[in-house]
Each structure stands twice: as C-alpha cells, then as structure tokens.
Amino acid sequence: MADGPVAELLLRRLEASDGGLDSAELAAELGMEHQAVVGAVKSLQALGEVIEAELRSTKRWELTAEGEEIAREGSHEARVFRSIPPEGLAQSELMRLPSGKVGFSKAMSNKWIRVDKSAADGPRVFRVVDSMEDEVQRRLQLVQGGQAEKLGEKERSELRKRKLLAEVTLKTYWVSKGSAFSTSISKQETELSPEMISSGSWRDRPFKPYNFLAHGVLPDSGHLHPLLKVRSQFRQIFLEMGFTEMPTDNFIESSFWNFDALFQPQQHPARDQHDTFFLRDPAEALQLPMDYVQRVKRTHSQGGYGSQGYKYTWKLDEARKNLLRTHTTSASARALYRLAQKKPFTPVKYFSIDRVFRNETLDATHLAEFHQIEGVVADHGLTLGHLMGVLREFFTKLGITQLRFKPAYNPYTEPSMEVFSYHQGLKKWVEVGNSGVFRPEMLLPMGLPENVSVIAWGLSLERPTMIKYGINNIRDLVGHKVNLQMVYDSPLCRLDAEPRPPPTQEAA
Amino acid sequence: MPTVSLKRDLLFQALGRTYTDEEFDELCFEFGLELDEITSEKEIISKEQGNVKAAGASDVVLYKIDVPANRYDLLCLEGLVRGLQVFKERIKAPVYKRVMPDGKIQKLIITEETAKIRPFAVAAVLRNIKFTKDRYDSFIELQEKLHQNICRKRALVAIGTHDLDTLSGPFTYTAKRPSDIKFKPLNKTKEYTACELMNIYKTDNHLKHYLHIIENKPLYPVIYDSNGVVLSMPPIINGDHSRITVNTRNIFIECTGTDFTKAKIVLDIIVTMFSEYCENQFTVEAAEVVFPNGKSYTFPELAYRKEMVRADLINKKVGIRETPQNLAKLLTRMYLKSEVIGDGNQIEIEIPPTRADIIHACDIVEDAAIAYGYNNIQMTLPKTYTIANQFPLNKLTELLRYDMAAAGFTEVLTFALCSQEDIADKLGLDISATKAVHISNPKTAEFQVARTTLLPGLLKTIAANRKMPLPLKLFEISDIVIKDSNTDVGAKNYRHLCAVYYNKNPGFEIIHGLLDRIMQLLDVPPGEDKGGYVIKASEGPAFFPGRCAEIFARGQSVGKLGVLHPDVITKFELTMPCSSLEINIGPFL
C-alpha cells in the first residue's frame, strides 16, 4: 500500500508518464491543492530511491482579487462610463457608485467623460465619446488566460502598480522515477521494537531511514568550569614533572612573608595602597618568626650575606601589616623557610596554583583577583641553563615550543628572565611567564645552605587560557557574570593540542 | 616598569647609526629593554583627545622604551645611549669625577627643624653646562622619571635644580611654619604663603599628588639662599627666582628626603647623566652639606666600589664555560669595568656610581649572563630527583569536583572578595556575626571583605543567568576566610563545597540527595555512630523556617542545607525557590 492515496495516484501517473511529471500540473489535473501533491512527493522521497524529485521554481503573473473582479466586470473607469446616461449624471451621485472615485478620474484622464460645472443642480457628468475600448479588462483577461507574455513589460508594470497584477514564485517538483521505483510501496517502520525482535518480523519489514543531518539530544549532565579544567591540566603537568604541591590555603598574609622575606624593600611601589589590599581587621600579623625576622631586618637595612643591603630603616610595624597576598611567592617563601629548617638539606621541586589579589584598576584583562601558577626547584648548583631547560620542558607540555628569554628585573630574583613564546595566531612574540633565580638575600636569611640555588617561574592561569580559547574579556571567563552556556559548551582542556582559531581578531 | 619616551632620530643620532624598528627592537630585547611602542606626539594626542586636538602636534617619531625598574641610569636619552654604546663596545664607559671649585665651595646648611619632617639633603653643582632645547627637556624629564620611581612620588626624595648665577650661597635648608614661608613659586606671577599655595595646588593635576607628604605637618621644609631667596619648598615646588632655562650655565642641584641612601643615588644619577654637557665633560663640582650635628659632608659621592667575583662562580651560576678574560670583557660591556687579577680566576669589577642596582655578586652574574646572551645559554635539565606529592586538600577537591559534575551539577568560579552586603545583609546576618576579614583600602564595595561563604557567589551567578533553562544546578569548591586568632596572621582559609538547586520547586530532596551522594563518595556512612553523618533540624536566617538542617559528620558540625528564605532569594534578585547545601570539606581529609 502506498503512503496515502495521493502518493499512490502520483506513483501510477509517474509509471504511465514519459520521463516525469510536474507537481503543479498533476495537482491541476487531479483537481487538488498543490500542497497535497508536494506532501506526497516528500513522503515518497523519505523512502529512499523510489522517486527522484527536483525542486523547480517558476515565476508567474497572477491577478489580484481586484484584478480578477476587473477581468470579470470591467475596469472602474469603464463601469463609470457605462453608468452615465446620455442626459448625464449628477457628479455627487456618480461619486456614490462603488467604482466612482477611481473610475471618475481615470475616465476623465482617458477623455471619455466631461464635467459641466454650470448645471443648475450642481456639477453634472456627460459622456464625451459614444463608445470606448476597456483595455485594462482586456489585458487582465489575457493574463488570466495564461498569456501574460503577450503584454509588454510597461503594460505589466502599470497593472502591477495599480495592484491588479502580482508576480508570484511557484515552487514545484519535477518528479521522475528513482532507481528503486515501484508502485507498490509498503509503510516503513520507524523503530525497532522488542516485539519485532521476539517475533522476528524485523526481517521482513522495511525501516524508515534516519536523518543523520539532524542533531542528537544532548545528555543531561554537569560541567566543569573551563578555567579550572585548565588548572587541573597544569597540576597534571607539574605532577608529571615530579613537582610537589605547596599549601597555599591562606589568602591572608603578613607583609613580612609577602614582601620582606622576599627582600622586597619596604618603600617598594608594590607595597603601596594603590597596588595591594591591606586589611583593617585583622590589621596585623600576631606572630612572626622573630629570629628569622631579625636576619631579614639586618639584610634589608645593613646588608650581609655578601650584599650591600638597601640601607634604610626597616620597620617591624610595616612587616606586620596584614594583606591579601599579592602573589603565591609568599607561600613559596614559607615552604622554602620550612625546608631550610630541615637538616640536612634535601632537594625539592615545588609548585602551586592559587588565587592572588591586586588592588588594580580593572579592565578587560585585569581583575582584582586571579590565579598564579608557580614552579620552584631548590638544589645544589642550579644554573640559569637549568632554569631555561625546565622552562622548555614545562612549556613543551603546554604545546609551546618556540621560546626566547629576555633579561628582566624582579625584586627577588637575580638573574631574572621573562619568557616569550611565538604566537602563531597573533603573529608575534607574547610574554608567557616570568622567571629567575631567587636572590641570596632571600634564601640565606632563611637558613638555606650557601651553595643551594633556587630557580623559580610564574605565570597567570587566566592569560594562557584566554589566549588558548580566544577570550578577549576576562569577565567572560571568571566570576559570577559568566554565561553558563559558555561553561556548558566548553571542550576538554588539552593543552598540547592545536587550539581552535580564535573567533575574533586578538586575544592578547 | 618605567617607560622612557625618546625621539627616534635624536636617539639614532646619539648612537651614531640608524636602525630599522625590528633591529632596534632586537637590540632592546637583548639588553633587557622593551621597545614598547612606536608613536608620535600627534598620535598620542589623537588617541587620547581625538584628531581635532592633535592637529598641529608634532609627528616626530617617538620610541617608548620600557626600562627595568632598578636601572635609574637608563631613564634618559643620555644614559640609555651610553649604556647601549658601551654594550656594543663602541665607546668606553666614561669616568665621573668630582672636582673642587676654583673659588669657594657651595655650602648647604641643614638646621635641626628639618629632623621631624625631611631630615636629609645633598647637593652638587654642574658648572659651565651647555643646554639645547632637547637637552633641557631631557634634564627636566629625567627629574620627573626619578620622582615617579626611585623617589616614590617625591615621598623619599625630591629634586630641586636652580640657576646658580641667580643665587648667592651659603644656602640654608630649614623647616618653618607654613604661614611664615612666602615666595613666588614656579609659573606664578606673585608671592604666596605656603598655606595659600597648598590651597591653590589642591586643584593642580600634577602637584596635588604630593601635598599629602607635608600637608598636616606643623613645619614645612624650605631652602633659602643667603639673601633670603626661596630656592624651593620641597617636595612641592621650586621658587621662580632661580628657575633654570635653556640658557642656564651653572646649575645648583639639591635633593632632600627621608631616605639618605636614595637621595645620594638620585644626585649621582642626575650629575653623571648631565655632566656630559659640561665644559669639562663628566666632572661635577662638589658642594658641602653641613648637618645639624655640625658634621659636614661633600657631595656628590660618585663612589666607585670594587667587587671581587670568581670566574668559576659566574660560570657555575649561569651554566656556561667562559674564560675569566672573556667574562671580564662581558662585564665591561655592561658598564662594569672588569679585569682578571690574582690567580687568574679572580675578576675584579668596578661598580660605577651609575649602577646602584649592583648590590650583590648575583647582580654581577646576571650582567655577565645578559652580555653572553640569555638565548645563547645551553639549556639543560637539572638532575634533581624528587617524588611528587599533591597537597591533600587540593587532591580531595579535584576528586570531588569530577564527581559533583558527574552528579549533574555545573561548576562555577566566583570571586573570593565581595561586599559586606553579600555575606551579611543579604543573608539576614549582622556583619559582626560573620567573623569576616575586612579590607582597609577597597576601591569599590565589591572588595570590602573576603567571603565567609560560597553561597552569595553562586546566587549571583544564577542572577546573571536567569535566561538559562531551569533547573539550574550549580556548585563550587573553593576557599572562604574566617578570622582566627590561633593562626599567625589572625585569619584562616576553609575549603568549602557549596551547591544550589534553582527551579520552580525548591527541590530540597535533590539537594538532600546530593548530600547523601557526597557522603557516599567520601565513604561516610549514614547514622550517628562510627563517624557517620546525620542531619538535624536547625534554623538560620538564610533559610525558610522549618526547612533547614544542620549536617553532622565524623562527630562535628560541617555545614547546613535547606530551602532558602524568600527574603534571601529576593535580595539576590531571584524569583524562584532555591535550596542549597554548604559544607566544610576539611574534616573529610
């Protein structure tokens, strides 16, 4: 049985036809709506190769409702002309006729009628000619008869302007036999059912083909935040490289551990109110390791350990000031201090990834808090070459292989180097991290042996993530204003895989 | 990092050759500078104020160069060129000399009144200097750069430069009541008292930033010459009388401050940079400063210091194998005149007065590495053998995150800082009950406190995502901060897990089910015995009455769950019912 009576009719006609048939013509022949034939074509198409249908669009002129009325009853001006008797008609009366207004002015401009304004009971309208040709009606009748091409372009457009004629596009199908043509099409099954399996009926049944272009239904699921997925990958990289994670679960830090222990002088601009969040409550650290504090104080104010020092009056009050840590290096300092207290010295590799805080002016790439990634290696006889070697391995795991190093200045590392990588997308060298060898003035007061060097590097978690995913505004990535759809849609984080090209011009 | 803006053509002229932009960028990179931007005055103005204002401005090409924050000797064209020329071995580093004047030495006497406000002063004279417009501009600009950087916006040191021929020494540096100081300052046409000036400058975009340094002090610092002419009222403004011009030939320089070391460095930098234009190049005329205790010192110090570093130490620290002779040559290129002495492995390095940044052997090692070229150093891997460990709290967090997502909840990342309102008022709490740490200098209300709960961040995330299809199931595992006098800093982080369910129905059973699942994951059995968990009816201002329970696990309270109070929902600009769960995961380690 065919898929509905129309489809069945269509198949029979097609079988008898010579090559193919047009859906609109078929509809006309069968005296049914074109849409019904189109429906049958589509349902047969879904069966596979039974028929072939080619979509054709043809343009045609059709009369509007008003056009049809005129083709039937004559143009307005003709109707006005006909309604005027030889003795004339009062204009006011004429205007009351259905075609009065339009017909009057047209008939006037055709010079079929005239108005006598001197008549006793108001203006009267008289015929000027005895008879006339209703061209408009004739033309419309031509179109109605399917002979629109007999009209000139100008005539057609005039009729269209009068809204009597419209050009319509008709979409029809040219239907021909497909490779699996048959007039006896059976109804297809949509899905396999348990009954079919148990009865074995699936063997004899045809199945409706799937539309593989349609989207599937996404599973209900939870999602991980993209930035924290990147964090997981960085943790993984450090663990693969044998680095141990430092505790960083203390956002509040004393100025001592955040600055002084790192040999950052007390007048350093980073310690300014404009750059750092200080605390009102608790305003001061309650305990500091006073022995060590004394050594730090001496190194700042007088020097020592081979250093000239900064030669200024170092103040304990300043060191006690609590703040929101401005870098995780404060946690590294604590870890190294703890390491120094363990004798004998054992080499370590440390890392951390956690939040840091800056009282900065906020913009598209800066927030008051961000994540810092930090790596530290402490061992005897480490060199700048070692630092670069470790950085090369680290960045290779991120999929970054083209590196170069620029001399730089950090208060607590010397030598210091900024790490640049060539960004293929941006076609320029971009800074990807900062690194250096911790100053002896930082390490020796802690009690670390003199021949131990500590190399370290740091970068932000947000910046490489933004570059990687082509995110231009950090607020689209971090904080409560992010679009959850972005979280839902974010792919796996595979740092060493080629990134998708950024959707917009520049991410840096 | 300070940025120095130099005219390109002037720079190339001084360097004795031209470069393409790329070549110059490469040279900067190698030397540790950064060619940050290539622009012009016209471009800058048009960017900041529009094309109309820029019309007629100069389109001379400017190089904006980032200079390391400790290299005060590279903050002007003169120093930068000298540094690069020595680096490229085109010139030898000049030797700076302090000379005694033919006649009487200029004297600056410090009185004891300065002790409480700005106790230190140093001075020097540049004799027979020849300025041009560009040199003069550079001289003024260097002072500005020093003020902004090493001088910490004039708080530590302030510089005054004067036309010596308009003055007559000896000079007196003293401190007086503001009402007793009266003079005609730079760029004004009449005399004002110090009190009046402080008022006038409140609206001066440049000077208003320095007023706080002396504003509330009973006495203001001031320098007079022997005729009572005011040279300057540091750190605010100089007198108009002794202003320098392009035609000035003899300059008296005074630096006052609260940091003696930095004042000396600043003076050394100015005179070493600009003695280039003196008739006797690179010589500086000494000045005598008499301190309140009667002791007198001669400035500028222009001290050359000798350091001894073993060649193998440099090789070992950098990871290279260069001969001592080569290393000495490399250091000499960095403006550190060096030679091999003693056993042939010892390098003697002369630290010039321009290199105040060299305070340790490690600074010398770095300069050797820079001259060698960072990118020429062989990369090697350290042999350090270590076994990696995760921080237990982070390890647990990572494991839980994945299973929270597997349970159908979506992770969010919210800020650790927020407003007092977020953690107190909006949750129906008094701020004092939160034990939150308070920030003293927040720029906006968003940074008043560190969060004491994760809930506000999650609710704000929902508020920003009200268009998303329901239900919304969110979680976050992150730190909150609570005051705690048992820790060294007086505050402590706690790792919290918070989850919310937001839908047309409160879904308490879903949040409750999530708790059961979390406990299953943590291997904590239900029931009060054997360290299990149980929830008990409780209340809290954030919860709908009768719809709140406290969670006990392993014998302690670890958090709460419940249906949020309609007031809380409304205050976070939400419209649907919402249930939440927040626990401290520390006890489950």
* pLDDT tens digits, B155-187: 999 999 999 999 998 999 999 999 999 999 999
Quick check: A89 contacting B, CB < 8 Å?
no
Quick check: A228 contacting B, CB < 8 Å?
yes
Mean pLDDT (chain B) is 94
Specify the CATH superfamily of domain B97-299. Answer: Phenylalanyl-trna Synthetase, Chain B, domain 3 (3.50.40.10)
A291 and A143 fall within a common domain: no
Contact B402 A224 (CB under 8 A): yes
Topology agreement, domain B3-73 and domain B304-312+323-354: yes
Burial (CB count within 10 angstroms: exposed 0-12, middle 13-18, buried 19+), residue A475 = middle
| Long-range contacts at A94-103 (CB < 8 A, ≥ 24 apart) | A94/A125, A102/A76, A102/A77, A103/A75, A103/A76, A103/A77, A103/A78, A103/A79
A483 and A427 fall within a common domain: yes
- Considering the four listed CATH numbers 1.10.287.10, 3.30.56.10, 3.90.245.10, 2.60.40.3500, the one that applies to the domain covering B3-73 is 3.30.56.10
How close is the nearest chain A Cα to the Cα of B432, in Å? 11
Quick check: B301 contacting A, CB < 8 Å?
no
Contact B390 A235 (CB under 8 A): yes
Q: How far is CA B23 from the centre of its chain?
A: 30
A143 and A250 fall within a common domain: no
Mean pLDDT (chain A) is 87
Kindly list the domain boundaries of chain B, sorted by start residue. 3-73, 97-299, 304-312+323-354, 392-588
Quick check: B31 contacting A, CB < 8 Å?
yes
How close is the nearest chain B Cα to the Cα of A415, in Å? 5
Quick check: B380 contacting A, CB < 8 Å?
yes
DSSP label of B110:
E
Which chain B residue has its CA at the smallest distance from A257's CA? B489
How close is the nearest chain B Cα to the Cα of A369, in Å? 7
A271 and A366 fall within a common domain: yes
Say what the pLDDT of residue B106 is.
95
A159 and A306 fall within a common domain: no
A401 and A471 fall within a common domain: yes
- Considering the four listed CATH numbers 3.60.20.40, 3.30.70.20, 3.30.56.10, 3.30.450.20, the one that applies to the domain covering B304-312+323-354 is 3.30.56.10
* Number of domains composing chain A: 3
How close is the nearest chain A Cα to the Cα of B151, in Å? 9
| Rounded Cα–Cα distance for residues B542 and B455 (Å) | 10
Q: Residue B413: its chain A contacts at CB < 8 A?
A: 225, 227-228, 478-479, 482
The architecture (CATH level 2) of B392-588 comes to 2-Layer Sandwich (3.30)
Q: Is residue A73 part of a domain?
A: yes
pLDDT band at A48 (very low <50, low <70, confident <90, very high): confident
Residues A140-190: tens digit of each pLDDT: 888 887 777 788 888 888 888 888 888 888 888 888 888 777 777 666 788
Per-residue pLDDT, averaged over A263-268, amounts to 92
Provide the CATH number for the domain around residue A287: 3.30.930.10
Question: By C-alpha distance, which of A476, A463, A477, A475 is closest to A507?
Answer: A463
Q: What is the 3-state secondary structure (H, E, C) of B472-525?
A: EEEEEEEEEEEECCCCCCCEEEEEEEEEEEECCCCCHHHHHHHHHHHHHHCCCC
Quick check: A408 contacting B, CB < 8 Å?
yes
Q: Which of B379, B412, B495 sits opposite A225 (nearest CB)?
A: B412
- Best residue in A241, A405, A438, A484 for a mutation probing chain B (most B CBs within 10 Å): A484
| Rounded Cα–Cα distance for residues B410 and A394 (Å) | 30
Residues 409-438 of B with CB under 8 A from A: 409-417, 437-438
A77 and A50 fall within a common domain: no
Quick check: A380 contacting B, CB < 8 Å?
no
Is the omega angle on the peptide bond into residue B471 within 30 degrees of 0, that is, cis?
Answer: yes
3-class state of residue B22 by DSSP: helix
Say what the pLDDT of residue A507 is.
40
A154 and A256 fall within a common domain: no
Per-residue pLDDT, averaged over B450-474, amounts to 96
Q: Is residue A297 part of a domain?
A: yes
Quick check: A235 contacting B, CB < 8 Å?
yes
Domain boundary residue, one of A177, A211, A242: A177
Q: Is residue A325 part of a domain?
A: yes
A404 and A462 fall within a common domain: yes
Q: What is the 3-state secondary structure (H, E, C) of A332-386?
A: HHHHHHHHHHCCCCCCEEEEEEEEEECCCCCECCECCEEEEEEEEEEEECCCHHH
pLDDT band at A109 (very low <50, low <70, confident <90, very high): confident
Say what the pLDDT of residue A499 is.
58
Q: Residue B75: its chain A contacts at CB < 8 A?
A: none
| Rounded Cα–Cα distance for residues A329 and A263 (Å) | 12
A16 and A115 fall within a common domain: no
Contact B492 A273 (CB under 8 A): no
Residue A111 has pLDDT above 90, yes or no: no
A277 and A323 fall within a common domain: yes
Residue B281 has pLDDT above 90, yes or no: yes
A250 and A330 fall within a common domain: yes
pTM of the model: 0.80
Domain that holds residue A109: 65-165
Say what the pLDDT of residue A508 is.
38
Q: Residue B401: its chain A contacts at CB < 8 A?
A: 224, 228
Q: To which H or E segment does residue B463 belong?
A: helix B455-463
